[in-house]
Structure 1
């Protein structure tokens, strides 16, 4: 596999070497080469305060050449014939700049452009080139870009927005605040990594979870499928999610409040201010979530006299499912100075309070147990460019302690009606032993990135992420060692992880072909003492180091379409919570092995702006020791290695402009992930448990103006989601539906193990009286009130209604 991945690199090196080999002096080839000499142009676009301008359109009209500046404001052209040309740089909200270029003396021309803000009313401006979102989506490494700005006025959760995307399924074990499990092309759980502005998010615990984060907080979400770019540098198998924060130039204020069914309340605030004279800036990001989550569910009751479970489900209302969390971040710094492009100091605080209503498989109700967590997190980020922007440094540090409390002291059990039955034989309801655990998780996170431009066509990217972790705590009701009587949690558990990534991006002559080659090194160590069932001490002291490599190629067929091919052999290290558990419902498994996977991806994209867009992608996966979270003894979950998994899949995504005011979109995903080499005829070639294999989305969106007022704006939307039935546990292949690819027909086994077909409709509107500043959003979810099941067959809320108010000062 590594040899296969290296073939394009060696071909590229050979091509460059041949292209750069000098011809003999005085020969005809040398003369013709000189006559056909080409030139290059590169530079940066900035604002007067020194901040880079991302998404600026840069054009050479005479050559019909155009590009767009990247996140650092950089742009480049190559293969320019000799002559004089006019370079035009434009950006919405800024005065355009024009520069006359003379390509005759120097092989390359460097330009630094400063765009002045547009003063007065802006005229309508048509900007050619790609947006920042489009630029990310069109890179060789496959990335799905979700434009959260387009839906920030809707009362939609980030989970709902991401679930409308091809190849992505996010499953929640309950209502607002319930843990979310993201699946990308068949990979799920911790195989998918999460980032905030390129920084791994482990140090934030559950505070910045996709199930909690308002869409108002984000500029966009980048979902990487398969290969990860070197700048992220993580040990992910199936991909990653990078949540990009909103950014403003001078000042802004945005606030929203949402309320709805089940006593749900959500609020968000973003504020930013920059002083262009002193180059100081400051800002705040904050949000609040609350819900009783007391929706109706269908459960199987147990007869209190006979202890026998009833055959037919009964509808009850959840009664101990409240969730509340606060999140606040303040930051300040300086930008655009000689010694720092940006220096930012931040302080983040959060608190989460979650009641426990049911076991992971929704088989047992709880009525008193709860858990909470809080932390204060200081952060530092420093960015600086050196040597005329050839070398760029981006350094991030965070040190914090996450405090978690688990309380389970109800000496008895509850039924689904909230009635309590005391028991003298138990001290808790989640477990016989009960819990008063208090855990302290200490984190140290360092991310160092260096980017160096090698000439006009090559960029070298180095990224190192180091994560240090230690857990220590106590539980007076917890397990103790039989020989010493010590609390098992009182002994520290340590976990250190380091991921190194080195990437080389090459743009070949003509800029039709772009190549990314990435090498990674993974290393982790664990030191912990656990307990067996008898209370005996078990010491674990493990370390592991391995290599990985990836290759991504993109070939432009024309200005509207391209092909993309990538391959990877990589490693995913077990995470600390998978090894040590969470001190509550997720049990430790200190014997976990790293996952090893080989991934291949092939894609085609056709995009005609303003008309339609089509994307087709296929993938193949082969994984050893896949780590999955599975039910354990009905009440708990545990991360376990699944021996070997292979699978292939295909996804299609289409968006069509039907009318000037009406747009339609849809996507379908099929993924066939199966076990192999199990040694058991009953499980050989069986589908991966608890994993959807077919799902689809469809939607319509209408944008209308002058509905009631002269400058008002009305957006009306409808979304449809379908998920084909899948299976809670491993089932023999011959018991699956016999229809084509299992897409129709019925499974040949008992229904309790089946997560049934689901068809969910959602509709809503957003109305803005003045077209900007203030808006009102309304949404009804699950219009037809069909039962909705999710991860581990947990039932989620049915029909519900939400209203959202938005206010902004740009």
Structure 2
């Protein structure tokens, strides 16, 4: 699919690259901290005037058209002491001024201020980014999923309790169309083990949600969204941060972050680790089959085979601030995940013994950063090679009912609860190389080149699995599967009118190659030749941000993007999803228009509208067995959406925020192989209207001197939607389908409206000490809530969380 670029659009792009005329007098320089590290985003203004700018990535600034005479330069950056420098200007005599800022003394409040600074800097970019300050909520019993779901336009859904599989929906895109990163690196090499459903909020500095055009330095083929988790590790100084949470259903979550830096700040090391465990034995409503009458009886039971446990340990060490390197970081990761399978993709019948494991014994990574050519060229190179294993076990010679009663199989029955017996081991090998080159052309223009090359190799075994026909049968799962992918991006980021206007023009290239052995569908024999598939495509996008005034910003972006199928979508995961070798890449035309208003950080409001037209959209559906899911292409999908968000802080202590999202995505016309009744039907299993509301209050000196108390309430609403496609004429009537009753309300396909409330308290005995106690009640009114594929999630749960951070002697 091609973009039709009009002449007007070309004129706009050309105008954005025309630089303003140089003034007769200019003032330039560099802003840094006491360790000579550049400060990016510092405000540099001529006092008592509106003339000023922001520092760039190197801490450099340039102010043109500076008036003549005795002047004062004001420099400010949140978290640092402001500074004023007096100077005088003469005609045709440019000046250069270097300035160092002193950091304010750090305490808990300063940590929050620092987070807000990063938030504001990212929000100032041309690309639409929503920043979730996880450190601001680190004392609460909030998971990354909880925090992200409180944002507009995005909904992360789980197929059960802690550790269950997740699906991200962002502005109409879902699943792997929305990519997950850690510190800007794609997470493919960790086999999904470092995901939003696992990582504690304590281990993260923030979460960045990208909407619309993705920046080139992320290097991804995501269609229109990404979640980038920024770790809290590798900070300056010597510090350890810990947390421990205990909750209902025998849930335990612990985390530790250790950062060490020598006095010269050229050697560093640390640990990032967390442990998750839960029985997930919450109550669920199921249909129990009476053994005598064989009738289905609705009952409420406790899930009995739903345990999840996981450990993740990351040890890192490195060198920085040397002549030959700015930073060289070596990381080694070890992880193991164990998940019991209480049910398949639907809660139709129980499974009492099957489980899955994911293991990574030794996963090394190396990252190199260096500024060259007088610090105008920034090099960032990442490399990793990983070997991981997935194990799926389902060999029970019998079955369980929902009450936990076990029945041995008859002599003519084969083992396996979810169908055929399964003892699959998948060995996966991944290589990832990500190269980012950023060249600062001048104070107005930066050129970025990013290239990510990924290789994927899979072999497996399953003695219970299917074999090829012939004299020398071969296990199908043992057939090697190779998948190579290359994604590159080139962007030109420009600033004009004293940074009030920013533009990001991007070109992207996508290429993939898959190969493997296939089996003849008629004879069942293994074909002697390998089957190969190649995909190659280009993309183009542009983002514009205009700073109308100090309070008002507007953005517009448009992109034609391609998403290559992931290895998991093509090959399956060996347990809950099955292979589809015929998948085609997704292609989509995306447009976003937004307006944001903020008044002195006390009041803010924003609106964003988006449009998507996708071809061959990859969607997940229930397979014929209802145990597994399978990925498929939808011919054409089009839709639009609206996001509204607002926040208000008053009387210094109180804060209220809210947002809502409406999105309407439908298949465009007739889908091949379907009845005409489903023409223009809504894309299933995706909420199309949801909203959030929250309120918090902060007080000091309540129970004792210097203490701090925070009380909060969160509310979320999801409008009814359907598990599968339904005819358009059976949808609810009324405005946007939000009113009236649907024609298929009383069916298993119907997912009713959901209301969930969360309340909590966080107490710091001494606000100057980094120790806190948090208590929280989720799903306060014990409502029945559903999630991905209408899986019932936990009811009311109670949580207690302790956090403690302290400085270590150097």
**Common fold, TM-score beyond 0.5?**
yes
Tell me how far apart the structure 2 counterparts of residues 465 and 108 of structure 1 sit (CA, whole Å).
42
> TM-score, with normalisation over the residues of structure 2?
0.93
Tell me how far apart the structure 1 counterparts of residues 279 and 164 of structure 2 sit (CA, whole Å).
12
Alignment partner for residue 230 of structure 1, among 216, 220, 232? 216
Alignment partner for residue 436 of structure 2, among 429, 441, 449? 449
- For residues 69 and 202 of structure 1, do their structure 2 counterparts lie closer, same or farther at Cα, with a shift above 3 Å needed? farther
Q: Secondary structure at the match of 1:751?
A: coil
The answer to whether the 8 Å contact 1:326/1:352 transfers is yes
Q: Tell me which residue corresponds to 2:488.
A: 500
- For residues 735 and 106 of structure 1, do their structure 2 counterparts lie closer, same or farther at Cα, with a shift above 3 Å needed? farther
Q: Secondary structure at the match of 1:231?
A: helix
How do 1:655-804 and structure 2 match up within 5 A? 655-678=647-670, 680-749=675-744, 750-771=746-767, 772-804=769-801
- Tell me whether 1:316 sits opposite 2:301 in the alignment: yes
The answer to whether the 8 Å contact 2:312/2:335 transfers is yes
How do 1:355-370 and structure 2 match up within 5 A? 355-370=340-355
Alignment partner for residue 425 of structure 2, among 424, 430, 438? 438
- For residues 112 and 190 of structure 1, do their structure 2 counterparts lie closer, same or farther at Cα, with a shift above 3 Å needed? farther
Q: Tell me which residue corresponds to 1:544.
A: 535
- For residues 5 and 708 of structure 1, do their structure 2 counterparts lie closer, same or farther at Cα, with a shift above 3 Å needed? farther
Alignment partner for residue 365 of structure 2, among 361, 379, 391? 379
Q: Secondary structure at the match of 2:663?
A: strand
Listed one character per residue, the Cα deviations across residues 762-810 of structure 1 (whole Å, up to 9, x for unaligned) are 1001000101311000000001101010000000000000000010115
Q: Tell me which residue corresponds to 1:622.
A: 613
- For residues 56 and 507 of structure 1, do their structure 2 counterparts lie closer, same or farther at Cα, with a shift above 3 Å needed? closer
Alignment partner for residue 327 of structure 1, among 303, 312, 317? 312
The answer to whether the 8 Å contact 1:553/1:565 transfers is yes
How do 1:392-403 and structure 2 match up within 5 A? 392-403=378-389
RMSD: 2.6
The answer to whether the 8 Å contact 1:152/1:215 transfers is yes
The answer to whether the 8 Å contact 2:19/2:496 transfers is no
- For residues 622 and 425 of structure 1, do their structure 2 counterparts lie closer, same or farther at Cα, with a shift above 3 Å needed? farther
Q: Tell me which residue corresponds to 1:23.
A: none
> TM-score, with normalisation over the residues of structure 1?
0.93
Q: Tell me which residue corresponds to 1:480.
A: 467
1:398 Cα deviation (Å)? 0.8
Tell me how far apart the structure 1 counterparts of residues 93 and 577 of structure 2 sit (CA, whole Å).
62
How do 1:64-79 and structure 2 match up within 5 A? 64-65=50-51, 69=55, 72-79=57-64
The answer to whether the 8 Å contact 1:690/1:792 transfers is yes
Q: Which runs of 5+ in 2 are unaligned?
A: none
- For residues 625 and 428 of structure 1, do their structure 2 counterparts lie closer, same or farther at Cα, with a shift above 3 Å needed? farther
How do 1:526-565 and structure 2 match up within 5 A? 526-531=514-519, 535-537=524-526, 539-565=530-556
The answer to whether the 8 Å contact 1:42/1:456 transfers is no
Tell me how far apart the structure 2 counterparts of residues 129 and 558 of structure 1 sit (CA, whole Å).
23
Tell me how far apart the structure 2 counterparts of residues 781 and 533 of structure 1 sit (CA, whole Å).
51
Tell me how far apart the structure 2 counterparts of residues 209 and 228 of structure 1 sit (CA, whole Å).
19
Listed one character per residue, the Cα deviations across residues 640-670 of structure 1 (whole Å, up to 9, x for unaligned) are 1111110001010000113221111110100
The answer to whether the 8 Å contact 1:630/1:640 transfers is yes
The answer to whether the 8 Å contact 1:57/1:90 transfers is yes
Tell me how far apart the structure 1 counterparts of residues 320 and 605 of structure 2 sit (CA, whole Å).
40
Q: Secondary structure at the match of 1:558?
A: coil
Q: Tell me which residue corresponds to 2:582.
A: 591
Listed one character per residue, the Cα deviations across residues 279-306 of structure 1 (whole Å, up to 9, x for unaligned) are 1111111100000000000011223345
How do 1:268-287 and structure 2 match up within 5 A? 268-277=255-264, 279-287=266-274
How do 1:4-83 and structure 2 match up within 5 A? 4=5, 8=9, 10-14=11-15, 16=17, 37=24, 39=26, 41=28, 43=30, 45-48=32-35, 51-54=37-40, 56-65=42-51, 69=55, 72-83=57-68
1:316 Cα deviation (Å)? 0.9
The answer to whether the 8 Å contact 1:481/1:487 transfers is yes
Tell me the matched-pair count.
Answer: 792
- Tell me whether 1:349 sits opposite 2:334 in the alignment: yes
Tell me how far apart the structure 1 counterparts of residues 423 and 513 of structure 2 sit (CA, whole Å).
29
1:577 Cα deviation (Å)? 0.5
Tell me how far apart the structure 2 counterparts of residues 308 and 128 of structure 1 sit (CA, whole Å).
61
Tell me how far apart the structure 2 counterparts of residues 432 and 758 of structure 1 sit (CA, whole Å).
33
Q: Tell me which residue corresponds to 2:230.
A: 244
The answer to whether the 8 Å contact 1:186/1:238 transfers is no
The answer to whether the 8 Å contact 2:618/2:634 transfers is yes
- For residues 421 and 80 of structure 1, do their structure 2 counterparts lie closer, same or farther at Cα, with a shift above 3 Å needed? farther
Listed one character per residue, the Cα deviations across residues 62-114 of structure 1 (whole Å, up to 9, x for unaligned) are 434555556x4534344432436443445566565555566657797666544
1:439 Cα deviation (Å)? 1.1
Q: Tell me which residue corresponds to 1:654.
A: 646
Tell me how far apart the structure 1 counterparts of residues 92 and 4 of structure 2 sit (CA, whole Å).
40
Tell me how far apart the structure 1 counterparts of residues 494 and 620 of structure 2 sit (CA, whole Å).
39
Alignment partner for residue 255 of structure 1, among 242, 248, 251? 242
Tell me how far apart the structure 2 counterparts of residues 18 and 458 of structure 1 sit (CA, whole Å).
10
Tell me how far apart the structure 2 counterparts of residues 165 and 651 of structure 1 sit (CA, whole Å).
10
Q: Secondary structure at the match of 1:805?
A: strand
Tell me how far apart the structure 2 counterparts of residues 711 and 769 of structure 1 sit (CA, whole Å).
7
Tell me how far apart the structure 2 counterparts of residues 685 and 531 of structure 1 sit (CA, whole Å).
36
The answer to whether the 8 Å contact 2:33/2:102 transfers is no
The answer to whether the 8 Å contact 1:394/1:448 transfers is yes
1:271 Cα deviation (Å)? 1.0
1:118 Cα deviation (Å)? 6.1
Q: Secondary structure at the match of 1:300?
A: strand
1:348 Cα deviation (Å)? 1.0
1:337 Cα deviation (Å)? 1.3
Q: Secondary structure at the match of 2:596?
A: strand
Alignment partner for residue 516 of structure 1, among 496, 499, 504? 504
- For residues 171 and 126 of structure 1, do their structure 2 counterparts lie closer, same or farther at Cα, with a shift above 3 Å needed? closer
The answer to whether the 8 Å contact 1:597/1:622 transfers is yes
Tell me how far apart the structure 1 counterparts of residues 452 and 276 of structure 2 sit (CA, whole Å).
31
- Tell me whether 1:339 sits opposite 2:296 in the alignment: no
The answer to whether the 8 Å contact 1:720/1:759 transfers is yes
Tell me how far apart the structure 1 counterparts of residues 74 and 162 of structure 2 sit (CA, whole Å).
49
The answer to whether the 8 Å contact 1:37/1:82 transfers is no
Q: Which moved more, 1:223-232 or 1:98-107?
A: 98-107
Tell me how far apart the structure 2 counterparts of residues 126 and 629 of structure 1 sit (CA, whole Å).
39
